[in-house]
Every structure is written in structure tokens, then in C-alpha cells.
């Protein structure tokens, strides 16, 4: 008997596999009688949310959970704040961390992101002091110096581009002039990478190495969230895999220098801002596993890549988001400049914890940026056992997606507000955070809202991952939400209301929260104290996936005042 053609055999195999999967899905649905409403796509689902970076994946009617197929996994979507918090506080009891295979491969199984149990808690205890409010205040002089250098370099590049503009004005190519302008997207990425790698981690890369590694991380980020971990030539995942090898080679060299005690000096790299001995990497090099053995080279690589990625990428994205707002809001820029002038008169040019405490309007602008443009719109988890949520079954093994955007959309403060109200949530309005403060005029005269500008709720220092973040924020005036229909929000300086899950919560609250606050505030302070900035392109297209991408790299003109 003649064998069936290969094509028919392949089709038959695909049909058989599909039928088996369908049978398993249906059997699973029959086992759990009270699944949330929703639909499970056949084989793969959720790809329609890629374009918006998954920011709308939990934007559905009602507050109860929904089910869908997210990529290959049947998944429960959660948008209700209390349900999200209960899941975050139940890490390792009801859920565990779960990202696509590409993300796991790129960050590594030994990274902080994917560590669990005692190892994860040990890492947080070890690294927490490097990100504490006291440590971050110690980093401020180094962060300010780095920001001042980058702003000066951007101003020099702008001057050079202006010199090239003369031929363009007489018939030359204006696009060539724009090409020579500094690009904020790359500049912000390099700035935050230098802060994290040098000031906090204790690495000492040359300027050329910094530029090369920053570019490698950019390629890395664009492949880290690939739906499928297949290194198809030319794919983002294949490029990310190659970039990771470049990063590992450079980091291996740096680790050897640190082991030999020849880190190269520098003005950062420690939990007290004073040297390499207490830096992130020095601490990791001294860490031992449960058997008393030093961490393996693979573990050190996974941890270094994870911490450098998490410690600079989201902060760079926040800077870009903030600058996209400021370029079209001269009123906000004017008030920020007034506040900075007052801070300099009161505290001098050096940016310290005390001077940041006299920047309530800047604090409100940062909060409003994160409210309007969440950097991390959702986090995926996986159920480790059956449990119920809002009266619905969550089966063991199913994915659980926590929507971090929706809790801020559901606040009573928005009820009854019409779109023409300046406090409607669709409007960028920092004043919603200043209700009842004498500093609402932007003169920086009041710091009564907080005893420490860098007392961002610190979920990092707790030994067992207690949710200090929520406890601190919940103690704020009004629990973070203003009166119904007021459109206002309340939280102490340097802290977010509990419904604003920018840094997550529970035992996986972001280690670098304090650092992110400080970098954004210092960057804006340095830029607006000494420089004017404009963007030559009236419209800038912004893409959200696989990473925030602004048209032409976000060219800007920076000129000394």
C-alpha cells in the first residue's frame, strides 16, 4: 500500500493534536463548574492586545474576573483591586510567578524575578539595603552628577546640530539636522543604565562599554517578551539571545575585576553611596546557597542581567513618558521651574533628601505621569493550587493575569465627572494630588505631607515579604482616593496610594522603587534648572510593544539657560 503524502500526514497530525487539546480543554472546563465568564480561544489567544502592550487586556465591563486564553494558556483575568491584592499577598500559596518561556530564558531561572521560596527571600534580604531610602539618599550626589553630564552633552549635540542647520536653511536636508540632535530615548536609557550599573551595582564600564551594553539591552528588551522562545534567524528573540551573549561576556569580565578587588574606583556602588564594598554585586559575590557554597557563575549572570534590566529600563521609560507630557505642557514646565528656583534658594544647588522634600509639585507630576502612563500594565502569575476568587473557580495550573491599570480607573473619585472637568481622569492634571496643600500653587513651600521624600513604601527590607507598601499607603489621607466625584487623590510625598500598583505589591514589591523616584526627580530638577528643551517634531508616534518606541528616537533640542 502506497504511503500517504507527507503533506497529508502533517495535516492529519495537526488535526489529531488539535482534537486532543480541545478534548483536554473541554474536560478541564467540565471539571470546574464555576469558572468566570469569558471565552477560551482555540490554541492561542490574546494576541490582539500586543499592540497596546497589554495595557487593555483587563479593560472589560464589571469588576469580577474573566477567563480567556492568553497566548497558549487558559487564564483568569483580574481587575478588582482587593482581588489583586489578595493574590499578591498570597504569592507561593495560591500563585507563583509565571512569564512566557522567552522571558524566563532571557532573564534566567536564578534571577530575582523567577526565584521563589527561601532563595527569593534571601535575595531580597541581601539586596534590600542597597535600595533603602537611606541608601538612595546616599546615591543622590552621584545621580545628580550623571544627570548634569548628560544634559550638558545633549546641549553640546544641539549646538553642533544647529551649526549644521545653516546649509539646510538654504536648501539642505532638514532631516539630516534632526538626525544629529540628541535622542532622548537612547539618552534616557544610557543615563539610567549608568546609574544602575555604576552607582548601585558596582560595575565600572568605560563610556564605550556603556554605550555598547545599553544598545545590547535595547535589543534584549525587544525580544524578551516574544510569544514563542524560538531563535528564528532575524527574529527579535534570536537578536535578544545574541545580545545576551554580549552582555554575559562584558559582565563576566567585570565580575572577575570585582573578585580581584580592582573595580576601578568611582563615586558610587554601595548601599551608603561610598564605595564598592557594599554594592549589589559585592553582596551577591559574598552570598552563599543553602549548602554554604558561593553562587554559581550562571546564578550571578542571571542576577546581574535581571537587576540591570529591571533597574534601568522601566525608569528610562518613565523619563521618556514624562518628557512626552512636558513637551506639550509649558504650564507644567513653568511651575516646575518656579519650584526648582525656590528649592535652590532654600537648599543650594546640591540635590539632597531635604531639597527633594521641598518639591511637592514635582512629586505630583511624577505621580500623575505614572497614573496616566503605567510602565507595567499587568503581571502574569500561575495558580499553584485550586482556589476561589470572587465566587469563581481558579483551577490549578491556569494562568492568572493581574491588571495593574484598572484599580486606578475604578476609584470613586472619578464618579460623576464629565470629560470637560479638569479633574477628569482622562486629563493629565498634577493638581489632583495637591488638594488641600499650600504648595498647590507650585511654590514648593510646603513639605508637611511627608517626613521623608524618599520614604517610598519599602517592601524590600522585610525578611518575609510583608506587604509594607500597602500598609504604609493605606495609612495616607483618604486611603489614596479622594471624596467621591472630587477627582482628587491623596498620598504622602514619595508614596503612591494603595490602588496605584506601579511597583506591584506583596512579597514581590519592586526592589528599586526608591531609586526610580529619585532618578526621575533628580533628572527633571537638573534639566529644568539649567536648560530649555524643545522637540522639533510636532507629532511623535509612540509604539508600546515590544518596548516603548518613539518616532525617530524622540529627538530633542537642549540649550543652556
Binding residues for heme: 510
Q: Where are the alpha helices (DSSP H) in 327-400?
A: 330-347, 353-356, 360-372
Q: Which residue, 458, 534, 483, is CA-closest to 129?
A: 458
- Residue reference for cell 539646510: 168
CB-CB contact of 289 with 283 (8 Å): no
> How far is the C-alpha of 319 from the C-alpha of 147, rounded, in Å?
12
- 183 strand-pairing partners: 555
- What are the cell numbers at 211? 554605550
Question: Could you write out the DSSP letters of every residue in 276-342?
Answer: STTSHHHHHHT-B-TTSPBPPHHHHHHHHHHHHHHHHHHHHHHHHHHHHHHTT-HHHHHHHHHHHHH
Name the DSSP letter for residue 552: G
Count of CB atoms situated within 10 Å of the CB of 198: 22
Phi, then psi, of 59 in degrees rounded to 5:
-90, 80
Give SS3 for 36.
Answer: coil
Total residues found in the chain within this entry: 561
The cell 496616566 sits on which residue? Answer: 372
CB within 8 Å of 451: residues ≥ 6 apart: none
Known binding positions: 510
Report the distance separating Cα 490 and Cα 440, nearest Å. 13
Phi, psi of 553 (to 5 degrees): 80, 10
Question: What separation in angstroms does the CA of 321 have from each of 375, 542, 543, 548, 553?
Answer: 9, 10, 12, 9, 13
Give the three-state DSSP class for 462: coil
* 3-state SS class at 91: strand
Phi and psi at residue 119, to the nearest 5°? -60, -45
R_g of the chain computed on alpha carbons: 25
Burial letters 56-67, b for 16+ CB under 10 A, else e: bbbebeeebbbb
Amino acid at each position: 500500500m502506497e504511503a500517504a503524502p507527507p503533506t497529508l500526514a502533517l495535516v492529519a497530525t495537526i488535526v489529531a493534536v488539535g482534537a486532543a487539546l480541545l478534548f483536554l480543554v473541554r474536560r478541564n472546563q467540565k471539571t470546574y463548574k464555576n469558572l468566570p465568564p469569558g471565552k477560551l480561544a482555540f490554541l492561542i489567544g490574546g494576541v490582539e492586545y500586543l499592540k497596546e502592550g497589554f495595557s487593555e487586556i483587563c479593560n472589560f465591563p464589571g469588576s469580577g474576573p474573566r477567563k480567556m486564553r492568553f497566548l497558549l494558556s487558559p487564564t483568569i483575568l483580574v481587575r478588582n483591586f482587593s482581588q489583586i491584592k489578595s493574590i499578591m499577598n498570597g504569592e507561593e500559596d495560591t500563585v507563583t510567578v509565571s512569564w512566557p518561556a522567552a522571558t524566563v530564558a532571557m532573564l534566567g531561572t536564578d534571577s530575582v524575578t523567577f526565584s521563589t521560596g527561601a532563595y527569593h527571600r534571601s535575595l531580597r534580604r541581601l539586596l534590600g539595603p542597597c535600595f533603602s531610602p537611606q541608601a538612595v539618599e546616599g546615591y543622590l550626589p552621584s545621580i545628580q552628577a550623571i544627570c548634569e553630564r548628560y544634559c550638558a552633552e545633549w546641549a553640546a549635540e544641539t549646538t553642533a546640530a544647529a551649526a549644521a542647520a545653516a546649509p539646510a536653511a538654504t536648501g539642505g536636508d532638514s532631516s539630516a539636522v534632526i538626525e544629529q540632535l540628541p535622542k532622548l530615548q537612547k539618552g534616557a536609557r544610557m543615563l539610567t543604565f549608568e546609574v544602575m550599573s555604576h552607582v548601585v551595582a558596582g560595575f565600572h564600564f568605560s563610556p564605550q562599554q556603556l554605550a555598547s551594553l545599553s544598545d545590547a539591552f535595547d535589543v534584549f528588551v525587544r525580544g524578551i517578551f516574544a510569544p514563542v522562545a524560538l531563535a528564528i534567524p532575524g527574529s527579535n528573540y534570536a537578536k535578544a539571545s545574541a545580545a545576551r551573549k554580549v552582555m554575559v561576556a562584558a559582565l563576566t569580565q567585570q565580575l572577575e575585576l570585582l573578585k580581584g578587588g580592582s573595580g576601578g574606583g568611582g563615586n558610587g556602588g554601595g548601599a551608603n553611596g561610598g564605595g564598592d564594598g557594599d554594592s549589589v554585586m559585592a553582596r551577591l559575590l559574598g552570598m552563599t546557597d543553602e549548602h554554604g557554597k558561593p553562587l554559581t557563575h550562571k546564578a550571578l549572570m542571571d542576577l546581574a542581567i535581571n537587576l540591570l534590566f529591571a533597574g534601568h529600563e522601566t525608569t528610562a521609560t518613565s523619563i521618556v513618558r514624562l518628557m512626552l507630557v512636558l513637551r506639550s505642557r509649558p504650564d507644567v514646565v513653568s511651575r516646575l521651574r518656579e519650584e526648582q528656583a525656590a528649592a535652590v534658594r532654600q537648599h543650594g544647588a546640591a540635590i539632597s533628601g531635604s531639597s527633594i522634600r521641598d518639591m511637592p509639585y514635582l512629586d505630583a507630576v511624577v505621580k500623575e505621569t505614572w497614573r496616566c502612563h503605567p510602565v507595567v500594565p499587568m503581571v502574569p502569575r500561575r495558580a499553584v493550587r485550586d482556589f476561589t476568587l470572587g465566587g469563581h473557580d481558579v483551577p490549578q495550573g491556569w494562568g492568572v493575569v493581574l491588571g495593574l491599570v484598572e484599580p486606578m480607573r475604578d476609584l470613586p473619585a472619578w464618579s460623576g465627572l464629565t470629560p470637560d472637568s479638569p479633574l477628569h481622569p482622562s486629563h493629565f492634571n498634577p493638581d489632583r494630588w495637591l488638594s488641600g496643600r499650600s504648595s498647590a500653587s507650585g511654590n514648593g513651600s510646603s513639605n508637611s505631607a511627608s517626613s521623608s521624600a524618599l520614604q517610598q513604601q519599602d517592601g524590600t527590607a522585610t525578611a518575609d515579604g510583608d506587604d509594607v507598601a500597602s500598609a504604609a499607603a493605606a495609612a495616607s489621607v483618604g486611603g489614596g482616593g479622594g471624596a467621591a466625584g472630587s477627582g482628587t487623590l491623596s498620598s504622602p510625598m514619595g508614596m503612591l496610594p494603595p490602588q496605584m500598583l506601579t511597583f506591584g505589591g506583596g512579597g514581590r514589591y519592586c526592589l528599586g522603587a526608591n531609586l526610580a523616584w529619585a532618578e526621575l526627580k533628580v533628572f527633571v530638577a537638573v534639566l529644568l534648572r539649567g536648560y530649555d528643551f524643545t522637540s522639533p517634531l510636532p507629532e511623535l508616534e509612540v509604539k508600546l510593544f515590544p518596548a516603548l518606541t518613539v518616532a525617530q528616537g524622540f529627538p530633542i533640542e537642549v540649550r543652556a539657560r
